[in-house]
Amino acid sequence: MRGQIISSSCGVFKILTDKGEFEGKARGALKNKFGRLFVGDFVEFNEIDNVIENVEERKSLLKRPPISNIDQIVIILSYVKPEFSYELVFKYLTYANMNNVRTSLVVTKVDLCENKTNLDEIKETFETLGINTYFVCNKTGDGLKEVKEIFKDKISCLMGQSGVGKSSLLNAINGTYKRNVGEYSKALGRGKHETKEVVLLPFEGGYIADTPGFSSLELDLYKEDLAHYFPGFEDYNKCFFSNCLHVSEKKCAIKDKVDLGLIPKKAYETYLSLSNNLLPRNQRFSK
């Protein structure tokens, strides 16, 4: 019987099938063949023995958060508590490009924004790069109608820091979810973890994956990788030099796009900052 893993805990998987939900484990031989099983995996389930016997080929796979077969990543960041971070958004977007997954951006807690021009800057920066950007207030429901549309008929993975309002957003979208909501710690400057594991929640023909939050995302990349996967750098191959890092090289197609306003200066400044902290490929393992 075919099904999809919608949650896992301590080696026990919950599988959704046409006959309903089942719980079971994976056969030992299956673990040796495929390694770790992921939420989102489509599997062949033996309902008599309550075991997973096979795993279908995955169309996508993320290692963090651990999930497979998603259609899109929806990045959730708050305007404040914790503070909105351009750098973190660009890291998420780069990570999504590395995994060939489309993205959208949702900014929560906009009711706490006193200067609306800051929201305009956020929207202009990311929509110039083709990233659909939404603003919501989970308490009042402002912006929720537009956000609900992006989840229809898709398997979506939420990604963002602890405390930005991922679980609150889910509860506002569908009150039956009743996801535990964490608090923001002023002392720590970040949210407290509430979601401990990846869980697929059904929503209008698709699923929304609630995921554990994390305070940072380190990209294990070379400078050359960042130059290729950074959002808006699709013209990478149009540069005069095939190994162009878009920093000081002449005839750089990316810098030309920045000058023309096709890539926001905020994005390029963030790229330079991230690139400055990475090693080039030929120095990665040098002493």
Q: What is the pLDDT of residue 56?
A: 95
Beta strand 199-203 pairing with 206-210: antiparallel
The CA distance from 270 to 230, in Å, is 10
Give residues with Cβ within 8 angstroms of 101, minimum separation 6.
60, 62, 70, 71, 72, 73, 157
Q: Is the pLDDT assigned to residue 222 strictly greater than 60?
A: yes
Q: Is the pLDDT assigned to residue 186 strictly greater than 60?
A: no
User: pLDDT of 88-100, one tens digit each?
Assistant: 999 999 999 999 9
For residue 32, report the phi and psi dihedrals to the nearest 5 degrees: -65, -30
Q: What is the pLDDT of residue 35?
A: 83
Domains of the chain: 2-57 (2.40.50.140), 62-210 (3.40.50.300), 223-283 (1.10.40.50)
Give residues with Cβ within 8 angstroms of 23, minimum separation 6.
12, 13, 14, 15, 50
Residue 4: both structure tokens together: 């999809």
Confidence class for position 184, pLDDT limits 50, 70, 90: very low
User: pLDDT of 145-172, one tens digit each?
Assistant: 999 999 999 999 999 988 898 888 999 9
The CA distance from 121 to 59, in Å, is 35
Q: What is the pLDDT of residue 193?
A: 43
Q: What is the pLDDT of residue 227?
A: 96
Give residues with Cβ within 8 angstroms of 5, minimum separation 6.
13, 14, 15, 37, 38, 39, 40, 41, 43, 52, 200
Higher-pLDDT residue of 191 and 34 is: 34
Residue 160 CA to its chain's centroid (Å) = 7
DSSP E strand stretches across the chain: 2-9, 12-17, 20-26, 42-46, 51-55, 61-63, 66-68, 72-78, 102-108, 132-135, 155-159, 184-185, 190-191, 199-203, 206-210
Beta strand 42-46 pairing with 66-68: unpaired
User: pLDDT of 13-27, one tens digit each?
Assistant: 999 999 999 999 998
Higher-pLDDT residue of 287 and 177 is: 177
User: pLDDT of 66-119, one tens digit each?
Assistant: 999 999 999 999 999 999 999 999 999 999 999 999 999 999 999 999 889 999
Q: What's the DSSP call for residue 281?
A: G
The reported pTM is 0.87
Helices 265-276, 116-128: axis angle to 10 degrees equals 70
Q: What is the pLDDT of residue 27?
A: 86
